[in-house]
Amino acid sequence: MSEQEKSAAQQRIDNAIYGTPKIKPDEQRKYLGTFRERVCLTISVQELKEQNWTKALTAELARGIGSLVFINGNLSQDEIRPYIQTATHANARFTLKTDPEYKTDPAALAVVVAAKTAVYQSPVDVQKRYPNLANSSHNSKTTSLPHQGFFHRLFHRKERS
């Protein structure tokens, strides 16, 4: 056997034992399994917890560049449900990433919108890409009324008449 055949055979054996090596594994871990050059929009865990960014997600999917939505499935269902619903309504493909390598600390990413090929978008951070939604979403979340029961609504209507 020649040296080249040995190295090809050794490569196959190594792949069988250790798995196929990943290209840019740290970058893929950060962007929920995709490459930075494919990313159109990112929402960090901290940004997701501070306010509702579904309008930004809708606007980004409407642009038609990125149609893949990666969602950090290690977050609570209540936090990610609106983003799953938004992706579904926009007919976008979404994937929940639940591997333990996807963290839930504030700097980690919660939602990533990406394209199938490289698009080189900048900026991709939701607060920089949609600054007009940052203020309106934050204000609407902080001023929303708590859920009120049947009797409160009943008497509130009566007072109006």
**Residue 73 within any structural domain of the chain:** yes
Instruction: Give the number of C-alpha atoms closer than 13 A to the C-alpha of residue 73, restricted to the C-beta side.
Output: 11
**SS3 for 114?**
strand
What CATH number corresponds to the domain at position 45?
Answer: 3.30.1330.30
118 closest CA partner among 44, 40, 42: 40
Tell me whether residue 33 is exposed, middle or buried, using C-beta atoms within 10 angstroms of its C-beta: 0 to 12, 13 to 18, 19 or more.
middle
What domain count does the chain have? Answer: 1
**Residue 138 within any structural domain of the chain:** no
**Residue 158 within any structural domain of the chain:** no
CA distance 149 to 12: 64
**In this model, does residue 144 exceed pLDDT 80?**
no
Let me know how long the chain is. Answer: 161
**In this model, does residue 135 exceed pLDDT 70?**
no
**Residue 40 within any structural domain of the chain:** yes
**Residue 11 within any structural domain of the chain:** no
Q: What is the pLDDT of residues 40-97, one digit of tens each?
A: 999 999 999 999 999 999 999 999 999 999 999 999 999 999 999 999 999 999 999 9
Range of the domain at 26: 21-131
**Residue 124 within any structural domain of the chain:** yes
Q: Give the helix/strand (H/E) hosting 109.
A: strand 109-114
**Residue 90 within any structural domain of the chain:** yes
Higher pLDDT, 21 or 160: 21
**Residue 80 within any structural domain of the chain:** yes
